[in-house]
Amino acid sequence: MRSTKLGPTERAAALARMAERELDVLVVGGGVVGAGTALDAATRGLVTGMVEARDWAAGTSSRSSKLIHGGLRYLEMLDFALVKEALQERGLLLERLAPHLVKPVPFLYPLQGRGWERPYVGSGVALYDAMSVSSGHGRGLPLHRHLSRRQALRQSPALRKDALVGAVQYWDAQMDDARFVTTLVRTAAAYGAHVANRAKVIGFLREGERVVGARVHDLESGGQFVVRARQIVNATGVWTDQTQALVGERGQFHVRASKGIHLVVPRDRIHSATGLILRTEKSVLFVIPWGRHWIVGTTDTEWTLDKDHPAASSADIAYLLDHVNSVLAVPLTREDVEGVYAGLRPLLAGESEATSKLSREHVVQHAAPGLVVVAGGKYTTYRVMAKDAVDEVVHGLDQRVAPCCTDTVPLAGAEGYRALWNARAELARESGLHVARVEHLLNRYGALTEELLELIAQEPGLGEPLSGADDYLRAEVVYGARAEGARHLDDVLARRTRISIETFDRGTAVMAEAAALMAPELGWDQAQIDKEIEHYRVRVAAERESQEQPDDLTADAARLGAPDIVPLK
C-alpha cells in the first residue's frame, strides 16, 4: 500500500474533488467509526469522501480509556454476543490489522473476599479467554492466571496488603486512540478516499424525500461548497441527533452522552508491573500502563452540556482519586496529576435512565432515502460498525458492490513493521538515534517510521527531542503537519502527540517550539504563530480552571471560556 500524506496540498485537492464530482458515499464525522466507514467504502471500490468539522478524533475517539478489549464486565451482564464480537476484533487488530499500534497489556483484578469471589471471577475470566481463543484470533495473548496475595503484591507492590486476599491476572490490549484514527484516515486516503478535516457540514440537500448532498463550510478558508453524494453516512457519535436535525429526520433512536474522565499520573507514583482493574459501585475502574505514565479512569455520568469540550470537575477528579486510593499503600494526591481529559460515550437511549446501563450495542438504519445513520457501539468494534454502515449504503445503491474486506486490510504502517522491529538496532545505528527512540517511533508509526528517519537524515536537528517534552522528537511535530493532517498547534499537542496530558505544564513549555516547527509546513506568518500559541495557552488555562469547579455546570462554563481557534484567513 502506498503511503499517502494528509498535508495542506492534499487537503485542498480532496476538497476540490469532492466539490467537482458526485460521490458514491460521503461520510460525515472523522472519529473512529467515520474513518472506519470511509476505509470500508473505499476498499469496496466506492468513490468515497469524508469530512470532519474539527480534527480527526477530536471528540470521543481521542478521549477514551485507550483500550482494545472485549469488555469483561459485559460478561457479567450476560452480553455474550458483544464480548465475542469485540474479542474477535481485538485479535484481528493485534495479529493482522495494526500490530504496530495495538499492544498487549496485563491487568490484575484484586480479590477482596474469600470463598465465592475467586471461583466467580476466575470462571468469568476463563470464559473471556476461551471466547478469545475460539474466535480464531486470540492466541497472541497469555491466558489468565490465579495469584496468591504474595504473588499479587510481587506484581504490584503499590497495593495495600489489606486490600486483597489474592488476585486474578488477565491480558487485554491498548492503543493510542487518536493516533489509531489518524492512521485509519491515512489508510482510507491511500485507497482513494477524499478526506478533509476542519470542513463542517452545515446543511443537507434534498430532492423530494431523498438526501442527495451536503453543504460544507471550509473552516480554514471560510468558503462554502456543495458535495453531492448518492448516499451519505452520519457517523457523528454524540452529535448524531444534531446532525440529523439538519435534515429534519431524527430517526428511530436517540443518542445520549455519558461523560467519562481520566487522570494521567507519572509511572513512578504507582509501583506496579501490571495494570489494575477495580470494581466500583457503578462499574469498573482501570489503572492502565501508558508509557512513562498511568491512566486512571473512568467515570460514567450523564452529560447534557457542551459536547465539543466536555469538562472534568473537581468532583470527578476526587471520585477517581478516592476509588484508586482505596487500594494503594501510598495514596495519590492532586499534585500527582499531570493531565486530565474528559470524553463522551455515545449511548443508545432506551431501557434505563442510568447511563452505565444504556446499550453499548450499535444501530444502523436508513433514516431517510440517501441518509444512513450509524451510532452507539464500542471503540473496539468500530470495524464491524463500519461494515454494517456500508452494507446499508449498498442497499441504497443501484449497482453491485464488493463485500467488506477490511478484515484483511492492514492499516498504514503495519506491513513490514515486524521486520523493521527486528532490525531496530541497525536502524538506530544508521540514523544515529538511540534504539529506545527508534522503538518509540516504530510503536507509533510502524513501517512509516522510515519516513520520519528520512526527515531526520535531511535535517538532523529534527532528531532532537522537544525541549519541553523529551518523549517526542522534533520530527514528529513536522510530520504531524506535513503528513498527518494537523492544522493547528492544538492538533499536534493534544492528538498527534499526547503532550497535553503527559506533562505537568500541559504542553505550555513546548508550545512555542512546536508552533515554530509547524509554521513552514502550514504557511504561517508570525501573526498566526502568535495566535496559535495564545489559543493553546488560553485553552490550557480554561481546562485547569474547569477542573477546580465543584460540578458539571460550573466546570462547563469555565471550559467555554476558551473559544475555538479562528479561521486562518
Q: Span 99-173+256-348: which CATH code?
A: 3.30.9.10
DSSP summary character for residue 567: P
Same CATH fold assignment for domains 99-173+256-348 and 459-561: no
pLDDT at 232: 98
What pLDDT shows up at residue 71?
A: 81
Pick the CATH number of 459-561 from 1.10.150, 1.10.730, 1.10.287, 1.10.8: 1.10.8
The grid coordinates listed for 364 are: 444502523
Cell triple for residue 317? Answer: 477528579
For residue 182, how many other CB atoms are within 10 A of its CB? Answer: 29
Residues 64 and 66: their CA atoms lie apart, in Å, by 5
Rounded-to-10 torsion of CA 249, 251, 253, 254: -10
Q: What is the tens place of the pLDDT at every residue in 194-204?
A: 999 999 999 99
The pLDDT tens digits for 348-401 are: 875 344 444 444 578 899 989 999 999 988 999 999 999 999 999 999 998 999
For 67-118, write each residue's pLDDT tens digit.
999 888 777 777 788 888 899 999 999 999 999 999 999 999 999 876 788 8
- Give residue for cell 435512565: 353
- For 55, the grid coordinates are 480534527
Q: What pLDDT sits at residue 9?
A: 96
Does the pLDDT value for residue 138 go beyond 90? no
410, 93 contact by CB (below 8 A): no
Residue 566 confidence (pLDDT):
62
CATH number of 8-61+179-254+353-408: 3.50.50.60
Confidence (pLDDT) at 349: 78
Rounded Cα distance, 495 and 181, in Å: 10
The pLDDT of residue 297 is above 70 = yes
Q: Residue 111 and residue 277: Cα distance in Å, rounded?
A: 11
Measured on CA atoms in the order 119, 122, 127, 133, is the torsion positive or negative?
negative
Domain residue spans of the chain: 8-61+179-254+353-408, 99-173+256-348, 459-561
The 3-state DSSP class for residue 103 equals strand
Arithmetic mean of pLDDT, 237-261: 86
